[in-house]
Amino acid sequence: GAVEPVEWFVVFHPNSTIRWLSRLTPGRFKHVSAFAYCPGFKAWLVFDPQWSGMRLMLFAHGNDAKAALCKYTDGCEIVKITRADAPMRLSSRMMFYCVPAIKHLIRLRCSALRPASLYRHILHNGGVLIDAKHPEHSG
């Protein structure tokens, strides 16, 4: 009876919380995370892989969640995508940082190693760009 979101909103962050990583990461985006709405729980689930560990946050649906998600995605690009049903290859577990973690979450098979190349791949493969200031309109 578990509920697993099928549609995810992938968030492409222009900055990383780690300064040196922001400088070393080429391209427009420096980090990637995702969030989804869980209707059975009436909550938003945020999945944010970080160097210090995996961060999971739940926001109860409502104005507080709306404000928190708007703040979390401020200045970011958001792309909505439906999770695939394909199993992931074992080789995709190497170097498990934010990009491979998001690829696993949405079960996306691609060679993207950087947030910017993942962004392009998702947009070319069914992803829909969402207005970052209003992520709640799609839930």
How far apart CA 113 and CA 63 sit, in angstroms, is 35
Query: What confidence tens digit (pLDDT) does each residue in 58-110 have?
Result: 998 888 888 999 999 999 999 999 988 777 666 655 677 899 999 989 988 88
- pTM tops 0.85: no
> With pLDDT > 70 as the criterion, what percentage of the chain qualifies?
86
Query: What confidence tens digit (pLDDT) does each residue in 104-127 have?
Result: 899 888 889 899 999 999 999 899
- What is the predicted pLDDT for the residue at 73? 94
List, as own/partner pairs, every contact residues 91-99 make where C-beta atoms lie below 8 angstroms and the sequence separation is at least 24, other chains included: 96/49, 97/49, 97/51, 98/31, 98/32, 98/33, 98/49, 98/50, 99/32
